[in-house]
């Protein structure tokens, strides 16, 4: 808690523990490249499905526009997210300590702060979202509109998430409802905050990683920072007003039996602007079994991954992530 970047960054140069080895620092981007933008408001559903499938196969990441979430809902959410991160460290601690089971908390860098070799220039507010009546009582009450605004925002994002998952399920050739029960019903929100950084060339807001989720719907602010790794090159994800960045998570690789992969991505910092983003993730419940969809497995297509619970996956993900500089290359093979 006392480590939150936002509590001390103003008076300091970049501490040594944030200085990454040269090979992990921000570098050249692949010129002129960008990730696909899918118009969810288009009439031709087959065309939308095709675009989502291709973007998922090629990049594991795409932006969506005309997704149906009103711009005022997005604006209000972004403003309470910013207001929360502008609170004092003491207020942040009070506002996130309402649940003894810690379904709501703040942290900095990664979940492995105590053991990681290097830190990242990011604070995060995390909480569960579904079922709302179970979790909303543990959400912050400062700023005063946080609960009301974020309840509306997360309900809208849940719809967008399931609509995209339905397209992906159809594209894969599995039941369109494949993700709509346990696999996506554990929804969480992670509000990232990257204060201005004294030396963006030496550090990152978040190291290269795949999200430990099924799918992530990110509200990027108007400040650049997100980059995706494809064909050994980094591609910048240009902020588009009111768009969401959809990222396939690491679990998609298992569920699709290797047909789709989670996108590897990272976040760069900048020296004069605050950047606030919000990752709304659709996850399985702790005890849910993650395994290749049955419809994708037969005698000529054997299961490439064993089944295991989401809880086991998270334990392994975090253990793997405490080695190396970033979150590691987790899930290039079967977790054992």
Judged by the rule CB under 6 A, the positions of this chain that interact with ligand AKG are 190, 192, 206, 211, 218, 220, 225-226, 265, 267, 277, 279
In the complex with ligand AKG, the residue whose CB is nearer, 174 or 326, is 326
Q: What are phi and psi of 198, to 5 degrees?
A: -65, -30
Which of the ranges 23-31, 209-217, 221-229, 321-329 carries the binding residues for Fe ion, by CB under 5 A? 209-217
Identify any residues that bridge with 247 across adjacent strands, giving them in sequence order: 61, 216
Question: For residues 256 and 279, which CB has a smaller minimum distance to ligand AKG in the complex?
Answer: 279
95 binds, among Fe ion, ligand AKG, none (CB under 5 to 8 A by kind): none
CA dist., res. 336 & res. 321, Å (int): 16
- Span interacting with Fe ion, options 62-70, 208-216, 230-238, 303-311, rule CB under 5 A: 208-216
Q: Which does 200 bind (CB under 5 to 8 A by kind): ligand AKG, Fe ion, none?
A: none
> Closest approach of Cβ 120 to ligand AKG, in Å?
10
User: Cβ-closest residue to Fe ion?
Assistant: 211
Question: Phi and psi (nearest 5°) for 206?
Answer: -150, 135
| C-beta closer to Fe ion: residue 95 or 123 | 123
d(Cα 227, Cα 150) in Å, to the nearest integer? 26
State both tokens at 124. 């995060």
Are 104 and 139 a contacting pair, CB within 8 Å?
yes
Contact 139, 147 (CB under 8 A): yes
Stretch that binds Fe ion, among 156-164, 206-214, 281-289, 310-318 (CB under 5 A): 206-214
Question: Nearest approach, Cβ of 320 to ligand AKG (angstroms)?
Answer: 16
Query: In angstroms, what is the minimal distance from the CB of 298 to ligand AKG?
Result: 34
Decide the pairing of beta strands 226-230 and 233-236: antiparallel
Q: Residues 123, 110, 267, CA angle at the centre, nearest 5°? A: 70
Per rule CB under 5 A, is residue 264 in the interface with Fe ion?
Answer: no
| 211 binding Fe ion? (CB under 5 A) | yes
Q: Are 129 and 188 in contact (CB under 8 A)?
A: yes
Distance CA 162, CA 143 (A): 29
> Which positions lie near Fe ion, rule CB under 5 A?
211
């Amino acid at each position: 808690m006392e480590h939150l970047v936002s509590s001390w960054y103003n008076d300091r140069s970049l501490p040594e523990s944030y200085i990454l080895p040269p090979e992990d620092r921000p570098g050249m981007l692949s010129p002129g490249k960008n990730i696909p933008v899918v118009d969810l408001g288009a009439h031709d559903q087959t065309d939308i499905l095709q675009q989502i499938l291709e973007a998922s196969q090629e990049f594991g990441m795409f932006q969506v526009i005309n997704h149906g979430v009103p711009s005022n809902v997005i604006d209000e959410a972004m403003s309470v997210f910013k207001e929360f991160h502008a609170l004092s460290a003491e207020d942040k601690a009070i506002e996130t300590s309402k649940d003894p089971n810690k379904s709501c908390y703040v942290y900095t860098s990664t979940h492995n702060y105590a053991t990681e070799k290097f830190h990242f220039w990011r604070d995060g507010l995390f909480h569960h979202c579904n079922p709302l009546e179970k979790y909303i009582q543990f959400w912050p009450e400062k700023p005063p509109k946080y609960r009301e605004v974020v309840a509306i925002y997360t309900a809208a994002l849940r719809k967008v998430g399931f609509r995209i998952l339905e397209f992906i399920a159809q594209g894969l050739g599995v039941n369109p409802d494949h993700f709509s029960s346990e696999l996506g019903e554990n929804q969480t929100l992670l509000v990232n905050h990257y204060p201005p950084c004294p030396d963006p060339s030496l550090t990152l807001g978040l190291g290269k990683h795949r999200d430990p989720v099924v799918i992530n719907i990110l509200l990027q602010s108007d400040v650049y920072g997100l980059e995706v790794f494809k064909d050994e090159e980094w591609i910048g994800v240009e902020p588009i007003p009111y768009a969401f960045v959809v990222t396939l998570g690491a679990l998609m690789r298992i569920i699709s039996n290797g047909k789709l992969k989670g996108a590897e991505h990272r976040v760069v910092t900048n020296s004069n602007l605050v950047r606030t983003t919000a990752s709304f993730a659709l996850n399985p419940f702790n005890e849910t079994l993650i395994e290749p969809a049955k419809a994708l497995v037969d005698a000529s297509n054997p299961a490439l991954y064993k089944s295991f619970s989401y809880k086991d996956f998270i334990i392994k993900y975090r253990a793997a992530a405490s080695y190396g500089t970033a979150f590691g290359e987790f899930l290039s093979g079967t977790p054992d």
